[in-house]
Amino acid sequence: MRKQALWSAAAGAVALTTMVAPAAHAEGRGDIRVVKTVVDGGTNVIVGTSKVIKFPIAITIKDNSGVKGLTHVSTFNRSIGYDFADWTASKCVKQSATTSVCTATMTIDPRWIADSDDIDSNRVAGVWQVNATVKANDGDYWISDNIAQFKVKRAATLTTNASPEAAVKGARLTVKGQLSRANWEDRKYHGFSGQEAELQFKKAGSSSYSTVKTVKTNSTGGLSTTVTATAAGSWRWYFPGTTTTMQVTSTGDSVSLA
Please report the pLDDT score of residue 25 as a whole number: 57
Of 106, 63, 115, residue with least CA distance to 85: 106
Structural domain total, the chain: 2
The pTM of the full predicted model, rounded to 2 decimals, is 0.87
Cα–Cα distances in angstroms (integers) from residue 41 to residues 126, 130, 141, in the given order: 18, 14, 26
How high is the pLDDT of residue 22?
41
Domain boundary pick from 109, 124, 153: 153
Query: Is the predicted pLDDT of residue 13 greater than 60, yes or no?
Result: no
User: Which domain-ending residue is among 153, 175, 192?
Assistant: 153
Give dist(CA 209, CA 6) in Å, integer: 47
Where a domain ends, among 122, 153, 184?
A: 153
Q: Is residue 14 in a domain?
A: no
How far apart, in whole angstroms, are the C-alpha atoms of residue 135 and residue 64?
Answer: 12
- The closest of 225, 226, 160, 157 to 189, measured between CA atoms, is 157
The answer to whether residues 128 and 171 belong to one domain is: no
Residue 170 maps to which CATH number? 2.60.40.730
Beta strands 67-77 and 126-136 are antiparallel
Q: Which domain holds residue 46?
A: 25-153
- One domain for residues 140 and 230: no
Whether 134 and 165 map to the same domain: the answer is: no
CB 130 within 8 A of CB 57: yes
Q: Does 164 sit behind a cis peptide bond, omega within 30 degrees of 0 on the bond before it?
A: yes
**201 in any annotated domain:** yes
Give the tens place of pLDDT for each residue, 22-80: 444 568 999 999 999 999 999 999 999 999 999 999 999 999 999 999 999 999 999 99
Over 60: is that where the pLDDT of 218 sits?
A: yes
Q: What is the pLDDT of residues 92-151, one digit of tens each?
A: 999 999 999 999 999 999 999 998 888 999 999 999 999 999 999 999 999 999 999 999
> Rg of the chain's alpha carbons, rounded to an integer?
23
Identify whether residues 192 and 92 lie together within a single domain.
no
Alpha carbon distance 12, 16 (integer Å): 12
Asked if 169 and 106 sit in the same domain, the reply is: no
Domain contains 11 = no
